[in-house]
Structure 1
Amino acid sequence: MKFLLTSSGISNPGIHNALLDLLGKPIEESNALFIPTAIYPHLTAHGAGLVDFAIIPHFCNPEFPDATDTNARIWAEKMTPTPVYAIDDESAVKVVDNQIDIISEGRWALFTPGNPEGPGLVLPKK
């Protein structure tokens, strides 16, 4: 299975290129499935049993004041033992056959089971 999980769609060239890579052909020649789950907080492919991690969308976005680094750490701790990726609107999680890659022109963090305080790998926005 192939997934490109975002919190704000195809928002930059890096995410667009990741989509093209996953499709293996031009977008206009492709069929893809789009599921808008952002209306349900923290409902991700994990919730559907498709991947072994969870996503916190809109990370550090001022329009989503609850999606702070501090809150993401608290939420991730509650999701243990599941790894949790917090991604901003300029980031995506690309999954191909269980291989995970982060596509980002913004900020993201990975919170691992039993270690919600870190590494947390919060990358600054450029």
Structure 2
Amino acid sequence: MRLLLTSAGIKNPTIHQALLDLLGKPVEDATALCIPTAGYGNPHGSPVGPWQFIAGRSEQPMTELGWKSVGVLELTALPSIDRDRWVAWVQEADVLLVNGGDAPYLARWMRESGLADLLPSLTGTVYVGFSAGSMVLTPRIGTDFLYRAEDDDRTLGVVDFSIFPHVDHPALSENTMAAAEKWAAELGAPAYAICDDTAIRVVDGEVDVVTEGHWRYFQPATGGS
């Protein structure tokens, strides 16, 4: 898969161009499936959030970009649907648009639905995540992003780095770069802190940062005394 891991969707022209480069075609010629599932797992959320994401009424531009078509893939429904049916839907889509919310909840349903097992075979598909939709592909999200004490911070591990989103967001006073530095030190693994005008692009294992804002890469400390 070709990945565009955003903090808050396609927020600026630079991220939009990165999406076009990954698609290799205009948005209006591409078909999309949106996955709202993570929005239902956030205990601070409501049904309004997933609806806004699906309808293109949120502040994270994804479904409203002018796609040829947009379908909805609700992961919690997939175990009750014939597998060959929904797998075909996924394989035929040019892009998966993955909602934010609760990353452990999303990871659970990616596994239980079978989508997680399918992802490695989707070599021609573009995956666009925002917030939890991006974090779910990392090895761990860190305890700072757990809503419930019983949750595990280990996610899918599709990429080998973690993500701290929404750095310096005006409505999230706790999401400072200093907090991200502490979070990364506790993880002890490669990690990026990104603002809402930044995305991480991954193509054939090569990682680069696409930004009109600010970000930071945290390299884990090596041994020594």
- Consecutive unaligned residues of structure 2, counting only runs of 5 or more, are 31-93, 104-130, 139-154
- Within the alignment, does 1:52 sit opposite 2:115 as a pair? no
CA distance in 1, matches of 2:174, 2:101: 15
Q: Which residue of 1 aligns with 2:26?
A: 26
Aligned pairs, how many?
113
TM-score (norm 1): 0.84
Q: What amino acid is aligned across from residue 164 of structure 2 in structure 1? A: I
Q: Which runs of 4+ in 1 moved over 3 A?
A: none
Q: Which residue of 2 aligns with 1:91?
A: 198
- 2:211 is aligned, of 96, 104, 114, to 104
- Within the alignment, does 1:78 sit opposite 2:186 as a pair? yes
2:207 aligns to what SS in structure 1? strand
- 1:39 is aligned, of 101, 105, 113, to 101
2:96 aligns to what SS in structure 1? coil
Deviates more, 1:61-70 or 1:9-18: 61-70
- Within the alignment, does 1:4 sit opposite 2:10 as a pair? no
Q: What amino acid is aligned across from residue 101 of structure 1 in structure 2? A: D
Residue 40 of structure 1, CA deviation: 2.2
TM-score (norm 2): 0.48
CA distance in 2, matches of 1:101, 1:49: 18
* Bigger share in helix: 2
Q: Deviations over 1:14-67 (max 9, x none)?
A: 00000000011111222210111x312674111222100011000111211111
CA distance in 2, matches of 1:93, 1:78: 22
Identity of aligned residues (%): 43
Q: What amino acid is aligned across from residue 39 of structure 1 in structure 2? A: G
Residue 78 of structure 1, CA deviation: 1.3
> Rg: which structure is higher?
2
Residue 90 of structure 1, CA deviation: 0.4
2:158 aligns to what SS in structure 1? coil
- Consecutive unaligned residues of structure 1, counting only runs of 5 or more, are 116-126
